[in-house]
Chain A
Amino acid sequence: MNDVERELRGAFQRRQPSAGFADRVGEAVRRGRSRKRERQRWMAMAAAVVVLCGLGGGYWQMRREARRTVDQLNLAVRITGEKLNFVREAAARGLLEKNLAEKGFAEENVGENNVGEKE
């Protein structure tokens, strides 16, 4: 080993950090862990809120669609009912006229009944 190397080894000896260094590192680790735990707790809460909002939104969407379907069904039933009424009345009217004609006093009586309409 030459002089330069000896000087370098002398100059670059290991030194200790200031007293309590390991304790300060331990404290920083504990702080970091509690911060991490706190962050995880917040993340879990935020995730729960997001999931609940999603579920709630989905539920309301489903409910709205179900209501719309029921409304459409009601409308369809009402229209069908009206049509059926109309057909039934028409059929009944046609049957009545046919019966009256067969019995031979259709037009006059019917005509009398319809006087108001003709005027």
Chain B
Amino acid sequence: MSRRRSESELEAEFSEVVREHQAMVYSIGLHLLRDAALAEELAQDVFLKLFENRGAFESREHVKNWLRRVVVQRAIDYARRARLRPRSGLESAPEPAAPAYEFDILASGHVELLVARLPERARQMVVLRYQEDLEPAEIAELLGLSVGAVKSTLHRSLVWLRTRMERAGVTK
């Protein structure tokens, strides 16, 4: 009886953690993969991994950093798998689990399309910097890079993006 109660308590606690971080994990996946269904699959996968490793965390901040790191790492695998996955016709496609990715075509959609053209590492840094508002030092720690490498990649990415956006008339 006590085991049953502790299991339900554990589930309730875990469910709370999922609700707290689901937007962060899902959005990182969504911005890196640009596919809502795949991003949900990735987020679920990451949370299941979190549950498996639930004994290893010391604080809420530790959980948050772990989730950020794992979702970025796993997104690379998902992107590769998605590229290899054969495309099927609409007739055989299942009903989408989540609404399609909503672009604001006039502004943010264009920016996201441009960011999607950046190399993988640069894209990760941009998402972590502007979605998660992380400092270059935090990004460097998360990705296992030097702060200098993060700063220079972010700088080059911003220059590249500014040029393209000015050309497209998104910014002046």
| B-binding residues in A (CB < 8 A) | 2-5, 7-18, 21-26, 28-30, 32
Q: Total number of A-B contacts with CB less than 8 angstroms?
A: 101
Nearest CB to that of B159 among chain A residues? A4
CB distance from A43 to the nearest CB of B (A): 18
On chain B, which size bracket covers the interface?
35 or more
Q: Are the CB atoms of A14 and B15 closer together than 8 Å?
A: no
Task: Map CB proximity to A onto B142-172 as digits: 1 under 8 Å, 0 otherwise.
Answer: 0000000000000000100110010000111
Q: Are the CB atoms of A26 and B11 closer together than 8 Å?
A: yes
A71 to B22, CA, bound (A): 76
Nearest CB to that of A16 among chain B residues? B23
Of the A-B pairs whose beta carbons lie under 8 Å apart in the complex, a sample of 16, sorted by A's number, is A7-B165, A8-B130, A8-B161, A10-B108, A11-B104, A11-B130, A12-B27, A13-B27, A15-B23, A16-B23, A17-B22, A18-B36, A21-B40, A22-B19, A30-B11, A32-B51
Q: Are the CB atoms of A18 and B98 closer together than 8 Å?
A: yes
Q: A10-B107, A12-B126, A15-B30 are in contact. List 15 more A-B contacts (CB 8 A).
A: A4-B161, A7-B107, A8-B115, A8-B161, A11-B112, A15-B26, A15-B27, A16-B26, A17-B40, A18-B40, A21-B18, A22-B18, A22-B19, A26-B11, A28-B44
Q: Are the CB atoms of B172 and A3 closer together than 8 Å?
A: yes
Q: Are the CB atoms of B18 and A25 closer together than 8 Å?
A: yes
Given A7-B107, A26-B11, check contact A21 B43 (CB 8 Å): yes
Q: Are the CB atoms of A14 and B27 closer together than 8 Å?
A: yes
Describe B's contact surface by its main secondary structure: helix
A3 to B111, CA, bound (A): 12
A105 to B126, CA, bound (A): 131
Q: Are the CB atoms of A11 and B11 closer together than 8 Å?
A: no
A14 to B39, CA, bound (A): 13
Other-chain contact of B131, A12, A16, A18, A30 (Cβ < 8 Å): A12
A4 to B129, CA, bound (A): 13
Task: Map CB proximity to A onto B24-35 as digits: 1 under 8 Å, 0 otherwise.
Answer: 101100110000
Q: Are the CB atoms of A21 and B22 closer together than 8 Å?
A: yes
